[in-house]
Structure 1
Amino acid sequence: MIVAKKYLIACLLCFGSYLSYSQPSTDSTLQQATLESCIQYALQHQPVIKQSELDQLIAERTIRSALSSWLPQISGNYSLQRYLKLPVSLFPNFSNPTSPERVPVTVGVANLSNIQFSLSQNLFNRDVLLASRTADTYRDQARQNLINNKIDVTVNVSKAFYDLILTQKQVDILDGDIVRLERSLQDATNQYKSGLVDRTDYKRAAIALNNSRAQRKQAQEQIGGKAQLLKQLMGYPPNGDLKVTYDTLQLANEVYIDTTQLIKPESRIEFQLLRTQQALLKANVLYNRWAYLPSVSASANYNFVFQNSEFAQLYSRNFPNSLIGLTIALPIFQGGRRVQESRIAELQLQRSQWDLTNLSNTVTTEYRQAMANYKGNLATYRALQENLDLANDVYRVIQLQYRSGVRAYLDVIIAQNDLRTTQLTYFNALYQVLVSKLDVQRALGTVPN
């Protein structure tokens, strides 16, 4: 009985661990995927953002590593030597100083050990000085790269989100159109059986219904692919469930933007990145000019020297020594390399100024194109708002007239097609104006991140 209980407990533990492993964490998926939640999820899980955050940490560690050269550098060294045969040196014959003869003499002891402690301090070094002056600039560059990637992710996720909900809305519109066509087909069939109309009416209804079903099937198939694209841009689990939620009225209220804003290239993150790069190039010019200056460092050494003919007694006698020193290294002639490298650095700095000029022109062009597209799409959207109300009213009236026998069924089909087309073009116009608004915000450098 005890063995059976132990076996049952072990099975429950294994099954529980399997469940806890197989069930994904609720933090990795979204319960309701609104646009804001999708963007926030992407900013926390997108691989590009994670890489940029790691790049920031790498940059910080790199800066600290470079700045560590300003601190004293302390090292230790230990050596142990045993001469298998002692060295021999030639000395003058002290018994006969006038003789040119040299007498071989064995020098040293068989066992030697050395323990050395060294300390060095950079007083002036252009590499360390460059690291010190550009530390904050490198931090800014890593931070700006992260911001730039966040802006890209925000814009891409927003556009993919709008594209997905547009397709979902198309499916909803076609669902409503299918319901209306099914009702019209039933009415046309009943009137044909009653002898009020000929067979062409219900055949036209059947053709229109089949076409609408085919369009819905096509739109429904596109939803899966567009949802997968949105997941990829968000860094979302590929097999995770993503239920997109949105409010059409809220989207309609978000189409407007202040069109009187003036373009400021310096507000663009790309411009700020170029400015940072230019600051690094200026520092590089100074770095190459410092090549004419000497490198200065101070040092101190303390040595414990142990010597003895008997290995067992090696560390019984110590002959320490110490020293301090100052080293000045001055490059005198390097074949003109320093002149050429200084000139290259100056030319690179001049080139970066043209990059800024080109970016300013590009930003101005992007803004004007984006604003023109936005205004055109907004005008189309406003016109289609009115058309949508008119198409609904026309379809309702013609449907009533057809049931009363005043209108032909062809008029009903035309009204249905006009209503469906107007609804589809209206929401497509809403999508276009939202996307063009994003382009304007990006051109202005006002995309939230």
Structure 2
Amino acid sequence: MPAARSSLSSHATGTKWQTARKACFAATVSVSAFTVFPHGVHAQTLKEALLEAYRTNPTLAAARANQRATDESVPLAKADGRPLSAADTAYTEQILRTGQPVQGTTVPVQTTPARSVSGQASVTVPLYNGGAIRNAIKAAEARVEAGQSDLRATEASVFSRVVAAYWDVIRDSEIVRLNAQNVTTLEVGLQSTSDRYDVGDITRTDVAQSQSRLDSARADLERARAQLVSSKENYVSLVGSTPDDLALPPPLSGLPATPETAVETALTDNADIAAARKVGTAARYDVRSARGAVMPRVSAFANGSYTDFLGSEDQRFIPATTHSAAAGLTISVPLYQGGRPAAAQRQAVARETAAIEQTIAVERDVIAQVRASYASWRSTEAATESLRSAIRAAELSLRGVEAEHSVGNRTILDVLNARQELLGVRVQLVTARRDAYVAAFSLLAATGHADARELGLDVSDSYDPAAHYARVRGSFLDFAFEPQPGPNASRTTGLPAQDAAPVEMSNE
């Protein structure tokens, strides 16, 4: 009877273990590389995230404000060539006066009025400044164009960070799911192993191996959750909202076919290169403007004055009012300025040389970035395909190891290793898909095709740098002031702290 009870107990436990093992395996292989959770709530798309960042990101808002400041350099340069007009008014009360004797009298007569009101106005019109003003205006215009290109580059940089943050949340959410599923599977496996140990089917070593692998998986899950929180907070910092539901982005289009094509496109369209070239153009005009300091200056002037002595004058000698007007030309020929013009010209030449070298440096950096992004994109695309094949092989391997273990040809450690290998490959696939997309977008940005309009974002109601420049470039009014500014970017102080719950994903 004891033998019969032992046999019956062993059979029951074995059946229970077989059922648990099948459940473990079914749970393990049920997680795809990107799990899709259908739900009724609209998922935020990558395009919507980019548009929100375009409108509310403080880095972009600050770059636009700096560009508006650069726009004003043109009317400032033009102001030096425009007429200057001024008017002065004065009331004078003589505190001490001395009289002068007049022939035929013995009493001194006051020939200075006791009080007066006077006013004068003048207009000066610059006619010629040796080309200094004209070249200063051209330099300012070139810097505005450089600033607009810098703004495009800033947009592309922020968008690249948003794309990376968007995919980081997707990747880390899936990694948390994979690790959580692995913990569940190992918990079921540990229970099964403990049941088999209770009936003497396996040793304590097998139980210890299962327990060790479970504890390690729990630690991996906690690290994955911490990384997900970090990725969510980075997303909030860039986009300004929480990543509650995200849609898997569609494939990118317009990618170059070869690295040579990518480099050619970048040399033509990259915003950083365009900005560097415009800075060089501005520096060249600065050299010409500096040379104008030794040239003659010609200006026209007109002025007039009026004085009323308010009845305090002696009309025998002084009229009740006086007035005058004059007009003419002023020609100023610099003879010696202490060496300042030559020093300023040499300084401008040195800065032009630096701008030329900086342009070459930017071209080098862009070429390197384009080639590196292209290689990363192609390699991660190839790695993605290899990892999909690796997952199929790992799943087949796990099924085989578990089958062999069920008949005693494999150990618990073999099963645990096979399961860990499958998990590792799945995590690699999630990471590779993220890396491939981010590298592809970085390639678009490096070739100059990742700003708002290139990406098809509806920014018609947002800041337009060209429109703002067109509005202020000809401004000549002294009182056309701007109102007190306020923040344009959104704040995130009211948003809750992010948790480690994986975001829902859809294929919208």
Q: TM-score, normalised on structure 2?
A: 0.70
Deviates more, 1:384-393 or 1:127-136: 127-136
Q: Measure, in 1, the Cα distance between the counterparts of 2:431 and 2:369.
A: 23
In 2, Cα distance between the equivalents of 1:221 and 1:359? 37
SS of the residue 1:85 aligns to: coil
- Indicate if the aligned counterparts of 1:52 and 1:142 stay in contact, CA closer than 8 A: no
Query: Offset of 1:431 from its aligned partner?
Result: 2.7
The alignment yields a C-alpha RMSD, in angstroms, of 3.2
Match of 1:168 in 2: 173
Check conservation: 1:118, 1:301, Cα contact below 8 A.
yes
The correspondence for 2:402, drawn from 390, 399, 402, is 399
Once the two structures are TM-superposed, the CA of residue 301 in structure 1 deviates from its matched residue by 1.7
SS at match of 1:76: strand
- Paired with 1:89 and 1:329, the residues of 2 have a C-alpha distance of 41
Match of 1:339 in 2: 342
State the 1:114 CA deviation: 0.7
| Alignment length (residue pairs) | 401
Sort the Cα spacing of 1:111 and 1:416 in 2 relative to 1 into closer, same or farther, 3 A: same
Could you say which residue in structure 2 is the equivalent of 1:123? 127
* 8 Å Cα contact 2:147/2:275 also seen in 1: no
Q: Which residue does the alignment assign to 2:78?
A: 67
| 8 Å Cα contact 1:268-1:443 kept in structure 2 | yes
Q: Greater share of helix residues, 1 or 2?
A: 1
C-alpha displacement of 1:394 = 2.6
Matched position secondary structure for 2:246: coil
Separation in structure 2 between the aligned mates of residue 348 and residue 69 of structure 1, nearest angstrom: 23
Report if the CA contact (8 A) 2:140-2:282 is conserved: no
1:114 aligns with 2:118: yes
1:46 and 2:57 equivalent?
yes
- Distance, in Å, in 2 between the alignment partners of 1:105 and 1:296 is 46
Instruction: Give, in angstroms, the shift of residue 112 of structure 1.
Output: 1.7
Of the three residues 337, 354, 359, the one matched with 1:356 is: 359
On the 8 A contact 2:135/2:285 being kept in 1, the answer is yes
TM-score for both structures, normalised by structure 1? 0.78
State the match for 1:307 in structure 2: 309
Structure 1 Cα separation of the partners of residues 81 and 322 of structure 2: 33
Partner of 2:272: 270
Corresponding residue of 1:55: 66
- How many Å separate the matches in 2 of 1:385 and 1:254? 20
Structure 1 stretch displaced more, 198-207 or 383-392: 198-207
State how far apart, in whole Å, the 2-side matches of 1:407 and 1:65 are: 82
CA distance in 2, matches of 1:424, 1:196: 34
2-structure distance, mates of 1:31, 1:328: 73
> Which residue is 2:185 aligned to?
180
Q: Post-superposition shift, 1:202?
A: 4.0
Give the secondary structure class of the aligned counterpart of 1:333.
Answer: coil
Match of 2:256 in 1: 258
Query: Cα offset for 1:385?
Result: 1.3
Q: Which moved more, 1:253-262 or 1:38-47?
A: 253-262
CA offsets per residue over residues 290-344 of structure 1, 9 Å max, x none? 2232222212122221124539x9xx94332211121112212224432333233
The letter for the 1-side match of 2:263 is I
* Counterpart position of 1:321: 324
Once the two structures are TM-superposed, the CA of residue 81 in structure 1 deviates from its matched residue by: 0.9
- Gapped runs of 5+ residues in structure 2? 1-40, 453-508
Question: 2:436 matched to which residue of 1?
Answer: 433
Amino acid at match of 1:120: T
1:37 aligns with 2:48: yes
2:145 counterpart of 1:140: yes
CA shift, 1:225, in A, is 2.1
SS in 2 for 1:109: coil
Structure 1 residue 208 corresponds to structure 2 residue 210:
no
Q: What are the residue-to-residue correspondences of 1:406-417 with 2, within 5 Å?
A: 407-417=410-420
The change in CA–CA distance for 1:130 and 1:88 in structure 2 (over 3 A counts) is farther
Corresponding residue SS for 2:421? helix
CA shift at 1:443, angstroms?
3.5
CA deviation string 1:182-229 (max 9, x = no partner): 332333344444554444444433332222112101211222222222
- Structure 1 residue ranges without an equivalent (≥5): 1-29, 96-103
After superposition, the C-alpha distances for 1:107-143 in whole angstroms (9 at most, x for unaligned) are: 3321221122222222223554234333432321221
